[in-house]
Structure 1
Amino acid sequence: MDTPEKRPMVIERFYQALDEDTAASLSADQKAALEEAVLSITLTTRQRIDIRRTVSFFGRRYFYVFLAGRDRRNATRHKSTLGRMALSVLVFGWLLFCAVSVFITLYLIKSALGIDVFKHFHVGLWTWLIEHQR
């Protein structure tokens, strides 16, 4: 186990947040396992480029983070069911809009050319369009 001076800041904060009696009751193996677990789930980075800065702007402090490097995550991200359903509805709506637009365009072209597919049956879209053109 590292000395407190050599431990990462996140480990120091973890021990500050932990109850003193609980921290004192942990064995060296338990502390090492806890420190390894904390380091594996926190924002400690192993990226080649890690820039974290703060900027003062109009009396407030803002921070920015720039990370770049190889993606070492081994698990795929969990996508929400609601998000996938919303995307499915959006894609279906877009495809339906495109299909209806194509059919209306083809119908207007057919009507403009004077082609009757069914005798004595017209939707009236071409007639309505001609009447309201003025």
Structure 2
Amino acid sequence: MRKVLKTAIQDDPQISNLLERMPDDVSQSFSEKQLTCLKVALASRQWGQHKIDLRGTFKWFHYRYYFVVLAGKNRRELSAREQELSQWIKALIVGGFILFSWALGLLSLYLLKSALGINLFGDFSLGIWDWFKALFA
């Protein structure tokens, strides 16, 4: 067995990990230039830093599944279709928030009216006040 001198690129953790997973005859056939190109290709595939980086695995029946949730600032250029979709989603979120706030405000006013004993319509009730009182009884 002949002893092969390790080059500086072979000491790199990424490259040494890659070479360890190959048969010896294949791993020793790479030139230093080829290993450098492999390192550049591997480095370009790594994910950047994200505000939210959640990774994990779980077992379900006889299989193991993995999940990755990444979130952060979008640095890509959006296509026209993506920009239009983004505007629609923003409008739906804002509209939903306004609708929810409006309904919560009306509910609060109705509960306040009922707590003060103000009856706008003679013998009519929505039953919300009775339900609310039953929650705390």
TM-score when scaled to structure 2? 0.41
| TM-score with structure 1 setting the length | 0.42
